[in-house]
Amino acid sequence: MNSFDWLGESPPGRTVLANGAVILTVPIASARCVSLGVWLRHGSQDEPAGLGGLAHFLEHIVFKGSERFSAYDLALAFDGVGAAVDAFTTKDHVVFSLKVLPEYLPRALDVMADMVLRPALDPEMIALEQDVVCEEIQEAHDTPEDLLNDAFTARVYGDHPRSRPILGAPETVRSFDRDLLRREHASMMRGANLVISAAGALPPGVVDLLAAAFLAAPVPGPDAAPLPSSADAPFLPAADVIAAAARADRRLELHGPVQQCYFEFGNLAVPFGHPDRIPLALLANVLGGGMSSRIFQAVRERLGLAYSIYTYTDMGRDVGLFSCGGSCSPAKLERVIEVSREECRRVLREGVDEEELENNRAQIKSQLVFSMEGTVSQMGRAAKDEIHHGRHVPLAELVTEVDAVGPDDLMRCAAAYVDPERWITAVHGPER
């Protein structure tokens, strides 16, 4: 019996509407609120060529009025029921969410569905929001970490659509007109592209309530482009990842009015459906995940070279990356990079012993359990399981996979994905 079976976890309720939309419900007995998310199986990497930033702009523009509500009416309606409303765009998804008391869910849901499915797309509001999004782009350009990450991912992902910045470019954003937005909105909001996930103190009849709100999402015609599919997405085997990494230019430098040097180094890795996804996550934790991780201890604790240094993985539908990032004084940059490289070489030379591996297993398993806390987490987890895996993935199954990772798995992943000789290095430092 898995030690995590005590959680008594049940899969979400799942209903598929006639238009293809999926409704997921996660009742939580201890909750006092409801978290609702409208998730699209579509992110910035799925945008048509030449329309970078479109998904993010559509995320914005639906808040600027619907067929029944002006922008102010939308804000007033949500505030009037005490709802916390949010939205975000990633390379994989567009998400609209709200958190509300159960008794106010019907009203908040009615407003949310009208906003998402039936935006007014008023030309004056489009022009105003183009100004706002261009301001957001400029703000990102003034944020060293954001500017560097966009440049780094563009270099690592190359011609893959995942290389594009989520916000797009000002000239592209300003080219969006009402006809284009209406066409692309209809494509994005079709029923089969929607996953509606609700978690918390769910009122009786919640499935019928959600179904009535989102059954109006259109069914695509016979000529509609197929939806992005995680299950069918090919991914690069380790040998192809290594070959692609060997072809890439390995150093990228940006300069601006900053005091610190911001850096990222890493390379292509795996998507979330790849068999190496959990070993690589463990390896990333060993190298730079926690306070006892190797790079953190060497760079910050033993040598005092940097305040911030960490590792992370970005796992998409068909490709991913592994990276180490942080910031330091310009004079310390090359030393930070070399110390980090040496810690990766040490893993390649010596591997990871069972005690260190078990410590990191405990960290990963704890993070999995912590991620279940709260209605927002449960709502998001249900939606991502549906989109990424097409099913509920029990926590006990994930724990079993973590426990099954051995030292040889980490060595294989180290050779394939974190060999510093294949790193791409990006730096944003002071102007010379």
Could you read off the pLDDT of 370-422 as tens digits, one per residue?
888 899 999 999 999 999 999 999 999 999 999 999 999 999 999 999 999 88
**In this structure, are residues 130 and 298 in contact, taking their beta carbons and an 8 Å threshold?**
no
Q: Which residues contact 395 (CB under 8 A, 6 or more apart)?
A: 4, 7, 9, 368, 369, 372
One domain, residues 263 and 381: yes
One domain, residues 209 and 244: no
Task: Read off the pLDDT of residues 136-152 as tens digits, 9 standing for 90 and up.
Answer: 999 999 999 999 999 99
One domain, residues 335 and 200: no
Question: What number is the average pLDDT over the span 66-91?
Answer: 97
Q: Does residue 223 form part of some domain?
A: no
> Residue 122 sits in a domain of what CATH number?
3.30.830.10
Task: Read off the pLDDT of residues 23-61 as tens digits, 9 standing for 90 and up.
Answer: 999 999 999 999 999 999 999 999 998 999 999 999 999
Average pLDDT, the chain: 91
One domain, residues 338 and 405: yes
Name the H helices within 81-121.
Answer: 105-117
Task: Read off the pLDDT of residues 176-227 as tens digits, 9 standing for 90 and up.
Answer: 999 999 999 999 999 999 999 999 999 999 999 999 999 877 665 555 555 5
**What tokens does 291 get?**
């306070």
Query: What's the angle, vertex CA 117, arms to CA 112 and CA 123, rounded to 5?
Result: 105
One domain, residues 370 and 329: yes
Q: What is the b/e burial string over 275-299, where b = at least 16 CB atoms within 10 angstroms of the residue's CB?
A: ebbbbbbbbbbbbbbeeebbbbebb
One domain, residues 133 and 263: no
**What tokens does 199 get?**
């978690």
pLDDT for the residue numbered 277: 94
Residue 15 scores a pLDDT above 50: yes
Confidence of residue 100 (pLDDT cuts 50, 70, 90): very high
Dihedral of the alpha carbons of 152, 158, 160, 166, in degrees to the nearest 10: 30
Confidence of residue 231 (pLDDT cuts 50, 70, 90): very low
Element (H or E) spanning 93, and its range? none
Q: In what order do the strands lie in the sheet with 424-430?
A: 251-256, 424-430, 261-269, 320-328, 308-315
One domain, residues 179 and 298: no
Q: Which residues contact 202 (CB under 8 A, 6 or more apart)?
A: 25, 26, 27, 34, 102
Q: Does residue 117 form part of some domain?
A: yes
Q: Does residue 245 form part of some domain?
A: yes
Q: Does residue 226 form part of some domain?
A: no
Confidence of residue 159 (pLDDT cuts 50, 70, 90): confident
**Model confidence, pTM:** 0.90
pLDDT for the residue numbered 228: 59
pLDDT for the residue numbered 431: 84
Single residue among 214, 249, 279 that ends a domain in this structure: 214
Q: Does residue 269 form part of some domain?
A: yes
DSSP strand pairing (22-27 vs 194-200): parallel
pLDDT for the residue numbered 245: 52
pLDDT for the residue numbered 1: 40
**What tokens does 407 get?**
């030292």
Q: What is the number of domains present in the chain?
A: 2
- E strands within 31-182? 34-40, 84-89, 94-100
Q: Does residue 221 form part of some domain?
A: no
How big is the chain by its Cα radius of gyration, in Å? Answer: 23
Q: Does residue 227 form part of some domain?
A: no
Domain range for 328 is 238-430
Confidence of residue 250 (pLDDT cuts 50, 70, 90): confident
Confidence of residue 230 (pLDDT cuts 50, 70, 90): very low
Q: Does residue 355 form part of some domain?
A: yes
Single residue among 214, 246, 264 that ends a domain in this structure: 214
Positive or negative: CA dihedral 295, 296, 298, 300 = positive
